[in-house]
Amino acid sequence: MTQEVEIEFKSMLTKDEYETLLESYQLSDQVKWQANDYFDTPTFELRSQGAALRIREKKSGQVLTLKQPHDVGLLETHAPIDEKAAENLFKYGIIHDEQMKQALATFNLTGPLEHLGRLETKRAEIETSDGLLVLDESHYLEICDYEIEFEVTDETAGRIAFEKLLSSHNIPLRPAKNKIVRFMEEKMGRSEG
């Protein structure tokens, strides 16, 4: 298990802006597929506490991640997960990793974990002198959206660099919610409708 603090800035993009940035940074042939499967209790206890649990699948394998609020950014707890352990989480809501169970215990969940759905992303990224630039095209619940993420180690310098990057490409700042928040809002909106 590993932990890290994630400091990132993000903005929603139009399809044209996304494609222009891919071309500007010569990333069109570096797009990689990944999928996020999201989990919570039936009453969304993790979400109500500002946290999220996912399995991220890439061609290289799967990682279970718990994201939770932190003083600056988000605290991410990662644990590798094999096929059998993933299957137990999907089918029965069971987590085998002891450190992940301890991290989740702080939320005092009263309901079982269940699979909420999948979000698939085509991702391209490049390290710049100011931070990691990430371009995402995401598909979930019949939605397709585009965003830019900028991961940094210094919040103040990162914000300035991100705003400068957007400005240099004539892209307005369009606040972007985390993928799981967009996914959950769409899912909950459908269940209410």
Higher pLDDT, 192 or 87: 87
- In terms of DSSP bridges, do strands 2-13 and 32-40 run parallel, antiparallel, or are they unpaired? unpaired
How would you write the chain as a 3-class SS string? CEEEEEEEEEEEECHHHHHHHHHHCCCHHHCEEEEEEEEECCCCHHHHCCCEEEEEEECCEEEEEEEEECCCCEEEEEEECCHHHHHHHHHHCCCCCHHHHHHHHCCCCCCCCEEEEEEEEEEEEEECCCCEEEEEEEEECCEEEEEEEEEECCHHHHHHHHHHHHHHCCCCCCECCCHHHHHHHHHHHHHHC
Identify the pLDDT of residue 191: 59
At 126-151, the pLDDT tens digits run 999 999 999 999 999 999 999 999 99
In this structure, CATH architecture of domain 2-192: Beta Barrel (2.40)
Identify the pLDDT of residue 192: 59
At residue 190, does pLDDT exceed 70? no
Write down how long the chain is: 193
Percentage of residues in the chain having pLDDT higher than 70: 97
Question: What are the beta bridge partners of residue 164?
Answer: none
6, 169, 28: which is closest to 78 by C-alpha?
Answer: 6
pTM of the model: 0.86
**Other CB atoms within 10 Å distance of the CB of residue 35:** 16
Task: Parse the chain into domains and list their residue ranges.
Answer: 2-192
Question: What are the beta bridge partners of residue 64?
Answer: 55, 79
At 174-189, the pLDDT tens digits run 999 989 889 988 887 7
Please name the residues in contact with 182: beta carbons below 8 A apart, sequence gap of 6 or more. Answer: 138, 140, 143, 145, 176
Q: Rounded to an integer, what distance in angstroms lies between the CA atom of residue 112 and that of residue 91?
A: 11
